[in-house]
Amino acid sequence: MTKRLNALAGLLASVGLTLLGLVIITFLIGRVMPIDPIIAAVGDNAPQEVVERARLEMGLDQPILMQFFHYVVQLLHGDLGRSILTKNPVISDIARYFPATLELATAAVIVAAIIGIPLGVWAAVRQGTWIDQTIRVVCLAGHSVPVFVLALISLLVFYAALGIAPGPGRQDIVFQDMVPHITGVLTIDSIIAGDWDALWDALAHMVQPVCILAYFSMAYITRMTRAFMLDALRGEYVITARAKGLSPFSVIWIHAFPNVGVQLVTVLALTYAGLLEGAVVTETVFSWPGLGQYLTVSLMNADMNPVMGATLLVGLVYVGLNLLADAVYRQLDPRVR
Amino acid sequence: MLVDIQNLRVSFATRTGTFEAVRGVSFKIGTEKLGIVGESGSGKSLTARALMRLLPPNARIDADRLNFDGTDILKADERTMRGIRGKRAGFILQDPKYSLNPVMTIGRQVAESWRQHKGGSRKQALEAAVDLLDQVRIRDPRRVCDLYPHEVSGGMGQRVMIAMMLAPDPALLIADEPTSALDATVQAEILRLMEDLVSKRGMGLILISHDLPLVSHFCDRVAVMYAGHVMEELSAGTLAQAKHPYTKGLLNCLPSLTHPKPRLPVLTRDAAWLQS
A236: chain B residues, CB-CB within 8 Å: 93-95, 98-99
Q: Are residues A330 and A337 in contact, defined by beta-carbon separation less than 8 angstroms? A: yes
Q: Please state, as a whole number, how many other Cβ atoms lie within 10 Å of the Cβ of residue B160.
A: 28
Partners of A334 on chain B (C-beta within 8 Å) are 102-103, 148, 150-151
Rounded to an integer, the average pLDDT of B198-203 is 90
Check CB contact of B228 with chain A, cutoff 8 Å.
Answer: no
Asked whether the beta carbons of B94 and B176 are under 8 A apart, the reply is: yes
The ipTM value here is: 0.89
Please compute the mean of the pLDDT values over residues B166-192 and round it to a whole number: 88
Residues A259, B161: C-beta atoms closer than 8 Å:
no
Rg (CA), chain B: 19
B101 touches chain A (CB under 8 A): yes
| Contact between residue A218 and residue A145 where contact means Cβ atoms under 8 Å apart | no
Nearest to A314 by CA among A296, A291, A288, A284: A291
Radius of gyration of chain A (CA): 24
pLDDT digits (tens, 9 = 90+) for B1-18: 889 999 999 999 888 888
Angle, in degrees to the nearest 10, between helices B154-166 and B184-200: 10
Taking chain A (337 residues) in consecutive chunks of 10 residues, what is each chunk's mean pLDDT? 79 88 85 73 77 79 84 85 84 89 92 95 92 93 87 87 82 75 81 83 87 92 95 92 92 93 90 84 86 87 85 89 87 81
* Residue A1 confidence (pLDDT): 63
Helix (H/G/I), strand (E/B), else coil: B76: coil
Q: Is B151 exposed, middle or buried (0-12, 13-18, 19+ CB in 10 A)?
A: middle
Q: Are A135 and A122 in contact (CB under 8 A)?
A: yes
- Cβ of A240 within 8 Å of Cβ of B101? The answer is yes
SS3 A82: strand
The answer to whether B103 contacts A259, with C-beta atoms less than 8 Å apart, is yes
The structure's pTM equals: 0.84
Task: Answer whether A235 touches B (CB < 8 Å).
Answer: yes
Of residues A240, A245, A255, nearest to B93 (C-beta) = A240
Nearest CA to CA, how far is B257 from chain A (Å)?
36
* Per-residue pLDDT tens over the stretch B228-244: 888 888 888 887 787 88
Count residue pairs from A and B with Cβ separation < 8 A: 77
CA nearest to B146 within chain A: A334
Give, in order, the Cα–Cα distances in Å from A304 to each of A73, A274, A286, A291, B88: 18, 22, 25, 15, 73
Are the Cβ atoms of A334 and B103 closer than 8 angstroms? yes
Confirm or reject contact between A129 and chain B (CB < 8 A).
Answer: no
Q: How far apart are CA A91 and CA B158, in angstroms?
A: 60
The answer to whether A81 and A90 have CB atoms below 8 angstroms apart is yes
Residues B34 and B219: beta-carbon distance below 8 Å: yes
Residue from the list B82, B103, B112 with its beta carbon closest to the beta carbon of A333: B103
Nearest to residue B117, comparing CAs of A258, A234, A236, A250? A250
Cα distance between residue A222 and residue A117, in whole Å: 6
Yes or no: say if B74 and B61 are a contact pair by the CB < 8 Å rule. yes
Provide, as residue numbers in chain A, all residues whose Cβ is less than 8 Å from the Cβ of B91: 239-240, 243
Asked if A239 and B168 come within 8 Å (Cβ–Cβ), the reply is no
Yes or no: say if B126 and B146 are a contact pair by the CB < 8 Å rule: no
* A97-109: b (≥16 Cβ within 10 Å) or e: bbbbbbbbbbbbb
Report the pLDDT averaged over residues B246-271: 79
Residues 6+ apart with CB under 8 A from A206: A103, A104, A107, A187
Mean pLDDT within B91-118: 92
B87 has a chain A CB within 8 A of its CB: yes
B276 pLDDT exceeds 60?
no
Whether B165 and chain A come into contact, CB under 8 Å, resolves to yes
Per-residue model confidence (pLDDT) at position A278 = 66
How remote is the C-alpha of A37 from its chain's centroid? 28
Cβ contact A244–B52 (<8 Å): no
d(CA A298, CA B198): 76
Which of B45, B53, B77, B99 to mutate: most A Cβ within 10 Å?
B99
